[in-house]
Amino acid sequence: MSNEQCVNKNMFSINELISLINTEQYDKLEDEWLRIVESNNKNLQELLTVVDLLAKREERKRAHDFLRLLIPHYKQKELYKDVLEILRKVLDYNPKEKGLAKDIAECYSNIYKDRPYTKVLIEKIGIETATDINKAIKTLEKYFYLDSGDYVYHKSWGVGEVVSVNIEEEKININFEKKSNHSIAMDIAPDILQKLDKDDLLAMIYAKKDVLSKMIEEDPVGLIKLTLKYFKGRASVSNIKSRLTSGVVPPETWSKWWTSTKKILKKDPYIKLTEGTPAASFLELRSSPITHHEEILKRLMNTEDASKKIEIAKKYVSEIKDAELCKETLNEVANLIIKEADKSYGTNISLAIECLLLLEDIQDFLKAEPGKYKNNAESFIRAEGNLSELVNKMNILEYRKQALHLIKKAKPEKWQEEFVSVFFVNDGNLWEFIIKDLIAENKKDSLEAISLRVFNHFNAYPEHYIWFCKNGIHGRYPELYQNIDPAIMFNRLIELLDNVHFKIQKGRNGDLKILLNKVIALVEDKGIDYTTRILNDTNAESIFNIVSACKGLEDWFKVSIENTIRDRFPDLFEEPGLAKLDETKIYVTKEGFDKRKKEFDHLMNVEFAENARDLGEAISHGDLRENAEYKAAREKQAMLIEKAERMKAELQKVVLIDPRSINTEIISPGTKVTIKYRGKTELEIYTILGPWDIDIEEGIISYLSPVGKGLLNRTVGETVTIKLPEGESIYEIIKIEKAL
């Protein structure tokens, strides 16, 4: 008979004993009890449950006798801890039984026979002569709680090792991390100290750090399991990192070590890893191994959110390499998804279609009834009115694309109209797919409908317009730009930038900063090349004016565009008032240059270092394809590189404003100007300096600003018309002074 059969037979006997008690068949109960006691497969806790049930039925004498029958068998095997547990139960039923205290003392003598002071301690407590045996037992338990070589933890003193036990003084001496050779009374030790196992993480950090250091490289999974035991079997990656980098794993090596360790952990059947951010990613120590298939089914059954359930199942199906080995699991997954589909038909048709398409994928693996579920999905689409909303509510991109294919099949006469509708409600991951399909099918009217709507309503569809301009600037999908003027497209992109910048200045942030950065990145990356390519006599002035007036663009970009237009179209700038400075240079004060240089140094030494740490932290989470933190850190890195290159180029163009060379006969960088707005008596005073010297509150403006450019090279008594975004303003120049 196998061990399992023996256990099952024993389990049946225990259940039978309970049944015999319930039916008061006590003679048969005694026979069955003797049979179990004499067997080799006894579970003491279950036997004690039977005894307790007898006591509840007022059969305390019988319960006592049953316990006494157990003692010889456990004594014979020298299982004195079990014998002690039985005797304490006997004590509950018959506190005055003769010889009981002696038997209990004998148990303690055998349990702690390796301690030299055991006999003395038992005699000192006097358990055999005690009037209250239970009280004597509690005292003994406290005194036997710790022994030399044991490890303990105190919340203030840290980890400690018991170095000696003094029975005469009833004290134990402990070397704590923060308090060496400290004496504690034996009777209070259990109340203030936590006893640690020899392989407890805290104990090993205290006494076996060399072993832990070896485990870092030789047994990283074992180290993680030790840490999980410290956290009672479950902990976040963030907490594990905090614990291990405080004395075990060097903090600077954590990212690399965790990345490699996590790959091994994923294969360990005793470790459960829940992916996410460090705070939301959890590790759990299993008591028994679990297969990948069991894990998937468990996750599916424990997940209430239907969309999340579909994502889990889809990922599992996508990673299958041998459908035959996974056949049973696939069928169980299919049954769970069918239930979700049934619940969704009347309430969430998008979810129902995702369920059907997932079931179709499973059918493909199982090679059973191809098209069965996809045909059902097509029927739902054919009957649905608002298809754009249906597609947009789907979560899995692959199934969104499949739904679009089904729309083409179900609505052959008007599918292109549905594609256009989807384009404008979608958040971006289907735009390219839709445009490519419309081009492939030569649907010119639909392409024009998309392009003109985005082009003419760019403020209503800012994300769409940025995508539209990006592809236009890069020369992609020319069919989409048949009726689009490239200069107007660029000017509207700058106008969009200005509008977003204005809203941010007014405190309407939200996602606007992200939007602003997208436009700036596109304009500053390709804007100069693009405008150079499209410039002609009819659009040069409009591009010059809108770029010059834009408040959201950096001065270096404006100057580059303006210089290009001036060089190619000098006739546009015959009127006086334009600056005669070297426009390839940047004029600033020494203070302005130092301030910019400090910003550049901070960028190179601080921001790049922080970004490197963020990248390392993100890489440690693994699975870079779906790691939002990693993508964000890489995007930040690209932005920092671009910014550093730009700032370096700017610093190389600097010309310091020399106070000795300032001429007060004309307005130039380094002069202070007093002007009067036409029709008013109040005077306005401006100091004209460089773009890095600006201080609006102090009246310091850049010579590259609209007002600065309008005043350059003017003299006292002149009247000047300055073009501002809000219109033209006419000023009279009253006085020019040195500002430096």
Tell me the domain boundaries of the chain.
Answer: 3-143, 151-196, 201-290, 586-738
What's the mean pLDDT in 339-366?
90
Task: State residue 35's pLDDT score.
Answer: 84
Same fold, 201-290 and 586-738: no
- Is 694:702 a contact under the CB 8 Å cutoff? yes
465 pLDDT higher than 90: yes
Instruction: Convert the pLDDT of each residue in 157-170 to its tens digit.
Output: 999 999 999 999 99
Task: State residue 625's pLDDT score.
Answer: 62
Angle value at C-alpha 150, between 226 and 154, nearest 5 degrees:
75
Which residues face 688 on adjacent strands? 671, 701
What's the mean pLDDT in 297-308?
84
Task: State residue 629's pLDDT score.
Answer: 79
**What pLDDT band is residue 508 in, cutting at 50, 70 and 90?**
low
**What pLDDT band is residue 531 in, cutting at 50, 70 and 90?**
very high
Structure tokens at 456: 């003419």
Indicate the average pLDDT of the chain. Answer: 87
Least confident of 82-86, 602-606, 618-622, 665-669: 618-622
Distance between CA atoms of residues 355 and 654, nearest Å: 63
Instruction: Convert the pLDDT of each residue in 602-658 to its tens digit.
Output: 988 888 888 888 888 877 766 666 667 788 888 888 888 888 888 888 888 888 888
Task: State residue 475's pLDDT score.
Answer: 93
What's the mean pLDDT in 338-346?
88
Q: What is the largest CA-CA distance in the chain?
A: 127
CATH code: domain 201-290 is 1.10.10
Three-state secondary-structure class, residue 112: coil
Sorted by sequence, the CB contacts under 8 Å of residue 37 that are 6+ apart come out as: 69, 70, 73
579 pLDDT higher than 60: no
Query: 290 or 515, which is more confident?
Result: 515
9 pLDDT higher than 60: no
Cα separations (Å) of 597 from 553, 591, 602, 657?
20, 10, 9, 16
270 pLDDT higher than 50: yes
Under CATH, which architecture does the 586-738 domain have? Roll (3.10)
Task: State residue 231's pLDDT score.
Answer: 92
Structure tokens at 155: 């919340």
Structure tokens at 725: 């975004």
Distance between CA atoms of residues 57 and 389, nearest Å: 67
What's the mean pLDDT in 381-403?
91
What's the mean pLDDT in 233-252?
92
Query: 737 or 638, which is more confident?
Result: 737
Which residues face 736 on adjacent strands? 673
- pTM, rounded to two decimals: 0.48
Three-state secondary-structure class, residue 352: helix
203 pLDDT higher than 90: yes
**What pLDDT band is residue 7 in, cutting at 50, 70 and 90?**
very low
Task: State residue 619's pLDDT score.
Answer: 76
**What pLDDT band is residue 580 in, cutting at 50, 70 and 90?**
low
Query: 287 or 118, which is more confident?
Result: 118
What's the mean pLDDT in 372-388?
89
Task: State residue 516's pLDDT score.
Answer: 87
State the sign of the Cα–Cα–Cα–Cα dihedral 361, 362, 366, 368.
Answer: negative
Distance between CA atoms of residues 204 and 181, nearest Å: 19
**What pLDDT band is residue 577 in, cutting at 50, 70 and 90?**
very low
**What pLDDT band is residue 280 in, cutting at 50, 70 and 90?**
confident
**What pLDDT band is residue 33 in, cutting at 50, 70 and 90?**
confident
% the chain with pLDDT above 70: 95
Task: State residue 566's pLDDT score.
Answer: 85
**What pLDDT band is residue 183 in, cutting at 50, 70 and 90?**
very high
**What pLDDT band is residue 574 in, cutting at 50, 70 and 90?**
low
31 pLDDT higher than 60: yes
CATH code: domain 3-143 is 1.25.40
Task: State residue 490's pLDDT score.
Answer: 95
**What pLDDT band is residue 105 in, cutting at 50, 70 and 90?**
very high
Instruction: Convert the pLDDT of each residue in 204-240 to its tens digit.
Output: 999 999 999 999 999 999 999 999 999 999 999 999 9
How many other CB atoms are there within 10 angstroms of residue 56's CB atom?
A: 11
Instruction: Convert the pLDDT of each residue in 422-447 to its tens digit.
Output: 999 988 899 999 999 999 999 999 99
Angle between helical axes of 415-425 and 444-456 (0-180°, round to 10): 20
